[in-house]
Amino acid sequence: MNHQLETKMKTTIKLAVALAALSIAPAFAHDQHDHGSFSAGEPGNPKKPARTIEILMNEMDYTPSKIEVKRGEQVRFVLRNVGKEDHEFLLATAKENLAHAEVMKKHPHMEHDDPNGVRLAPSKTAEILWKFTKSGTFEFSCLIPGHRDYGMVGHVTVN
C-alpha cells in the first residue's frame, strides 16, 4: 500500500472513531477533536524518572491485569506479546475503548500509531511511556474483535 493511501485511511479511521464517540456521548466527543489530550493522562517525558511495569499479552488476557499508580506518576509499560496472535494494548477510559471497539468491528485490521496504544505481532515487544495526570480508573484493552469480551481488559487505578 502506498504511503499516501495509508495516511488517508488512518485519517478516515480517526474520523470514524470521532463519529462513534459522538453517537455515544456528545459531551465527550469534544475531546476527540483535541489531538493533544488523552483520557488516561498524557504521553510521558523520557527525561523524567519512570517506574517500569512489564505486561504480558496472551490469549486472552494480560498479566498483570490490575495495577495501581499514584497521580502524577510516570510509568514505562514494557509490553510483550507472548501469545500466538496479534494483540493490542490501548490505554484509555472504558467508554473510549468501547467506542473504539465498535469502529474496529468494521475495520479489524486498523493500525494504531497513537502514543497511548500499540498493536503487537506474536513475540514482539514495545514500550509505552505514560504519565498518569488524572485520578480515577482507566483500562487497557485489546480491541481486536472478540478479544476484549474473552478477557483482554485490565485496569489501572490512579490515586
Amino acid at 20: A
Residues 111-150: x where in contact with Cu ion by CB under 5 A, - otherwise, as a string: -------------------------------x-x--x---
The footprint of Cu ion on this chain (CB under 5 A) covers a number of residues equal to 5
Question: Contact at 8 Å (CB) between 44 and 76?
Answer: yes
Identity of the residue, 60 or 158, whose beta carbon is nearer to Cu ion in the bound complex: 60
Q: Which stretch binds Cu ion (CB under 5 A): 16-24, 63-71, 86-94, 131-139?
A: 86-94
Nearest Cα to Cα of residue 89 among 98, 80, 132: 80
Q: Which is nearer to Cu ion, 93 or 141 (CB)?
A: 141
CA distance 74 to 111: 25
C-alpha cell belonging to residue 62: 494480560
The DSSP 8-state label assigned to residue 134 in this structure reads: S
- Contact footprint for Cu ion (CB under 5 A): 87, 142, 144, 147, 152
